[in-house]
């Protein structure tokens, strides 16, 4: 068994990291409104995995990272649920015994009870609810088209500028998925352009070098482009400026520490200062701008799961 850290997909909306069985099950039950679900594990006392979730009025996109073989049994959804495997092996078994592969995508009809089995190292995306019925005889390639829209969304999520931008993109994803199901046509989304190799070097440096202090000139030298060209190249291909990405990565690192915090009183100011945010009020405002909640709310969400592992049926809202 290995412990996984959350992957880049929706890392800005990390909710659980290295979670245990009770927390994991409570989160799934709340997010999918499946209070009767059971989580079956070969090692119940060990870490189950990590979970990121982005909720909007239309529904929720959730990314599960599984660190041991897992069986989520007895889920019952009231509307269509899409399950998309982006790493490892997983499958869906419906109540009548039929099996659905999660690659490229499984469409679970409303009113169906199902079991999700995911192998260690799997990464699975859940999109719920989709307010359209699953076609009895889907056109060949429809699952590929739906999965393509989800993959495009996840790639773009690496460069969400703030919470408003993330919410707008998530609403647009639900619209595209439902239009696809309504039309029944196979409408493959265009692939996103491959990032310029100079940008790849810059993004890797910003994300991986925690102690590096922002310096546009040094960044330009590292990329092999002029400062002006680097600025406009990144703005054109990601929608973000170099400094905006740098700032967001620091905020995400603080969020990870808040999610991981097991202490009674989280040291929010310490974590913020550790990432270079010297003014707590300004930090809190930036955090809310990027993630749609205050730092204390991030801590409270996980704490509520620990205190109340059995949750009441709920919609997809996670606030």
Write the CB contacts of 218 (distance below 8 Å, at least 6 apart in sequence).
none
13 neighbors 49 (Cβ within 8 angstroms): no
Per-residue model confidence as pLDDT tens digits over 240-291: 999 999 999 999 999 999 998 877 667 899 999 999 998 999 999 999 999 9
Mean pLDDT in the chain?
Answer: 89
Q: In whole angstroms, give the CA distance from residue 205 to residue 209.
A: 6
Containing 193, the helix (H) or strand (E) segment is none
Phi/psi of residue 113, each to 5°? Answer: -90, 140
Q: Is the pLDDT of residue 135 over 50?
A: yes
pLDDT digit string (tens) for 204-213? Answer: 999 999 889 9
User: Rounded to an integer, what is the distance from CA 69 to the centroid of its chain?
Assistant: 20
pLDDT in tens, 151-170: 999 999 999 999 999 999 99
What is the pLDDT averaged over residues 42-60? Answer: 94
Q: Identify the structural domains of the chain with CATH numbers, from first to last.
A: 11-192 (2.60.120.10), 197-300 (1.10.10.60)
State both tokens at 188.
Answer: 């493959």
Share of the chain above pLDDT 70, in %: 92
Span 21-37, pLDDT tens digits: 888 888 988 888 888 88
Q: Sorting pLDDT into bands at 50, 70 and 90, what band is 182?
A: very high
Reduced to 3 states (helix: H, G, I; strand: E, B; else coil), residue 124 is: strand
């Amino acid at each position: 068994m290995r412990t996984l850290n959350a992957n880049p997909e929706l890392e800005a909306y990390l909710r659980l990291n290295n979670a245990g069985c009770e927390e994991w099950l409570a989160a799934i039950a709340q997010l999918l409104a499946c209070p009767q679900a059971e989580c079956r594990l070969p090692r119940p006392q060990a870490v189950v995995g990590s979970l990121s979730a982005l909720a909007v009025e239309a529904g929720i996109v959730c990314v599960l990272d599984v660190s041991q073989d897992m069986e989520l049994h007895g889920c019952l959804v009231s509307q269509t649920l899409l399950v998309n495997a982006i790493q490892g092996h997983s499958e869906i078994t419906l109540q009548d015994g039929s099996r659905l592969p999660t690659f490229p995508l499984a469409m679970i009809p409303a009113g169906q009870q199902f079991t999700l089995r995911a192998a260690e190292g799997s990464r699975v995306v859940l999109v719920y609810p989709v307010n359209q019925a699953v076609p009895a005889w889907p056109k060949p390639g429809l699952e590929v088209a739906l999965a393509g829209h989800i993959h495009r969304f996840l790639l773009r999520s690496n460069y969400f500028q703030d919470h408003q931008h993330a919410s707008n993109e998530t609403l647009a994803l639900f619209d595209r998925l439902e239009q696809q199901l309504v039309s029944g046509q196979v409408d493959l989304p265009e692939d996103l352009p491959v990032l310029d190799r100079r940008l790849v070097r810059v993004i890797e440096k910003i994300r991986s070098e925690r102690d590096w202090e922002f310096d546009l000139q040094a960044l330009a030298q590292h990329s092999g482009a002029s400062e002006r060209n680097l600025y406009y190249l990144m703005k054109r291909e990601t929608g973000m400026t170099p400094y905006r990405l740098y700032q967001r990565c620091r905020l995400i690192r603080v969020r990870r520490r808040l999610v991981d915090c097991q202490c009674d009183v989280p040291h929010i100011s310490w974590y913020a200062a550790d990432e270079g945010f010297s003014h707590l009020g300004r930090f809190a405002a930036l955090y809310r701008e990027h993630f749609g909640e205050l730092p204390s709310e991030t801590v409270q969400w996980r704490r509520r799961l620990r205190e109340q592992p059995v949750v009441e049926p709920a919609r997809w809202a996670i606030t």
